[in-house]
Structure 1
Amino acid sequence: MIRPIHAGVLDVAYREAGVPAGVPVILLHGFPYDVHAYDDAERELAAAGCRVLTPYLRGYGPTRFRSPDTPRSGQQAALAHDLLAFMDALALPRAVLAGFDWGGRAACIVAALWPHRVSGLVSCGGYNIQNIAAAGRPQAPAHEYQYWYQYYFHSERGRLGLSENRAEFCRLLWTLWSPTWDFDDALYAQTAAAFENPDFVDVVIHSYRHRFGLVAGDPALEDSERLLANQPDISVPSIVLDGGADGIPALGSPAEHARHFTGFFERRLLENVGHNPPQEAPVAFADAVLGVIAAAGQKPEPGPA
């Protein structure tokens, strides 16, 4: 069941499952996905005794901005502040954060800048904090072509293409990014409905322009962006999941990512898994969450019989 909550600049729609007194776990989806990416992993974690919270990000599904005056920003600091506001609204002093793509970025940022709020981290794709100052430097051609959609979004043609063909466009990304995942029409359709949010296109386009330094960010978030420019380390217990078949693998080597994690750290390679590990390999994803809970010295409450 979808629940609403006032959280900062948003009215956030989210799901809750599991044991109310269990270890809080927040599951964060990316672009172009939604809460359904966690259907199976959520059940695994609830059965293990966790309190599982799965919000729609800004610009997705029933989540809405509370004011028409709030910038429809998709910058990385906005996602992190949304996550903090969500935790505050639920009166959660700390939680395990787990996510991929945009959601993994929000989780990494909160873990880096506000580690006292994070008891453990699962990040798909490694250290997900953007280095905007270096975004203009070209990558190897083998990587550059994989990011065609980002360059497309830099143009007004790209904005119009996403707006007019959002379901078809995002399905193409699913296919390219998870080439070994055999999803069907019904499974895709339940997520594609989330892209009809009235702010989806604005948030997405801003995200892919801001990360290249092409547009200004929300002035209210500039202090956080300055901190992120320093590429802060992450000290909380962390497990990184990398999909062996990911169509847009993270830039940089695993060793380059690992150096940003200064506490308990483990990298797990998921063979034949693409860009969406929680939906493609939900048991492995849930096992990673339980792994950081154990590394933090916590213990889930007994789940339902």
Structure 2
Amino acid sequence: MQPKTVTAGVLDVAYLEFGAPDGWPCIMGHGFPYDVHAYAETAPLIAQSGARVLVPWLRGYGGTRFLSDKTLRSGEQAALGADLLAFMDALKIERAVVGGYDWGGRAACVVSALYPERVVGLVSGNSYNIQNIARSMEPASPPQEAALWYQYLFHNERGRRALERNRRGFARQLWSMWSPKWTFDDATFDTSAAAFDNADFVDVVIHSYRHRYALVAGDPAYEAMEARLAAQPPIRVPTIAIDGDSDGVLPGTASHRPKFGGAFELRVFRDAGHNLPQERPAEWAQAVLDLRKAAER
């Protein structure tokens, strides 16, 4: 399938499109360090039920490019949310089912919380995925701190150089640790790893993992949105949240339930890790279809 591109906000966004152009809009987001191929099996299953499924490469990944050299290569959560909104606007999509996991899920959560009028419903890997930056320096349990080793590495210049020199090596290490029961082959990994060759990948990743700990400033263009996110706004759109019971980086998120003010369901995929739509494509697709059906009752 050939990628399409659209100018959206500060980006030329590369994306894959599945299904009929007049189908009901569904936008799915990938995480770090993955790419749109996480939905290679999932998106066609959703499209079979009448959806127009759009899967964009995030800023810093694949064929997505910044329009200006002067734009800060920010990976902050508000930037990801603003990118999703701009993508919807560029394609003249008023409302959509949105979803994703990791970074892509965060973008979907941001839009769902701050712009609920644009969202039919949300499918969210790991539930409430909006960062609480004000509390980011509070320690977690020892196992959770150990799982976040890569974030702390990226806080210093040794980490930047390590990622720059061995993007694929670090990504493969994280894939293996985060999804210990998922047996992926070299071809599957290499297909997604090509997205990490984007010239802005390292800058965006490093900024993301520093900004979430308040170690660097964000892009002033997103300051107002970040201020709204600092209040940890509830998500009131219909939501199906999904955890993998073998997720090697994030624990179960049942405790997130109070952050959702509308219809809510938590599903747990057995023997699945962090890359939920690629590990369990049929189950993820079913969640999207169930959500849309429930949201339109």
Separation (CA, whole Å) in 1 of partners of 2:43 and 2:120: 18
Q: What residue is the counterpart of 1:180 in the other structure?
A: 181
Alpha-carbon contact 2:28-2:100 (below 8 Å) kept: yes
Q: What residue is the counterpart of 1:269 in the other structure?
A: 268
Q: TM-score, structure 1 length as denominator?
A: 0.96
Q: What residue is the counterpart of 1:254 in the other structure?
A: 254
Separation (CA, whole Å) in 2 of partners of 1:7 and 1:48: 27
Separation (CA, whole Å) in 2 of partners of 1:84 and 1:50: 19
Q: What residue is the counterpart of 2:16 in the other structure?
A: 15
Q: Secondary structure at the match of 1:232?
A: coil
Q: TM-score, structure 2 length as denominator?
A: 0.98
Q: What residue is the counterpart of 1:141 in the other structure?
A: 142
Gaps of 5+ in 1: 299-305
Is 1:88 the counterpart of 2:89? The answer is: yes
Residue type of the alignment partner of 1:35 = V
Cα displacement (A) at 1:16: 0.7
Q: What residue is the counterpart of 1:288 in the other structure?
A: 287
Separation (CA, whole Å) in 2 of partners of 1:69 and 1:142: 40
Q: Secondary structure at the match of 1:259?
A: helix
Separation (CA, whole Å) in 2 of partners of 1:196 and 1:57: 13
Is 1:243 the counterpart of 2:222? The answer is: no
Alpha-carbon contact 2:18-2:54 (below 8 Å) kept: yes
Q: What residue is the counterpart of 2:57 in the other structure?
A: 56
Separation (CA, whole Å) in 1 of partners of 2:227 and 2:99: 24
Separation (CA, whole Å) in 2 of partners of 1:259 and 1:22: 33
Residue type of the alignment partner of 2:72 = P
Residue type of the alignment partner of 1:113 = L
Q: What residue is the counterpart of 2:28 in the other structure?
A: 27
Cα displacement (A) at 1:253: 4.7
Q: Secondary structure at the match of 1:60?
A: coil
Task: Give the length in aligned residue pairs.
Answer: 296
Separation (CA, whole Å) in 2 of partners of 1:171 and 1:22: 35
Q: Deviations over 1:128-159 (max 9, x none)?
A: 00000000011111110000000000010000
Separation (CA, whole Å) in 2 of partners of 1:259 and 1:284: 25
Residue type of the alignment partner of 1:27 = M
Cα RMSD between the aligned structures? 0.9
* Identity in percent: 58
Separation (CA, whole Å) in 2 of partners of 1:225 and 1:253: 23
Q: What residue is the counterpart of 1:42 in the other structure?
A: 43
Residue type of the alignment partner of 1:32 = P
Gaps of 5+ in 2: none
Q: Secondary structure at the match of 2:195?
A: helix
Separation (CA, whole Å) in 1 of partners of 2:253 and 2:278: 24
Separation (CA, whole Å) in 2 of partners of 1:12 and 1:21: 20
Cα displacement (A) at 1:86: 0.2
Cα displacement (A) at 1:216: 0.2
Runs of 4+ in 1 over 4 A off after TM superposition: none
How do 1:43-192 residues align onto structure 2 when only pairs under 5 Å count?
43-192=44-193
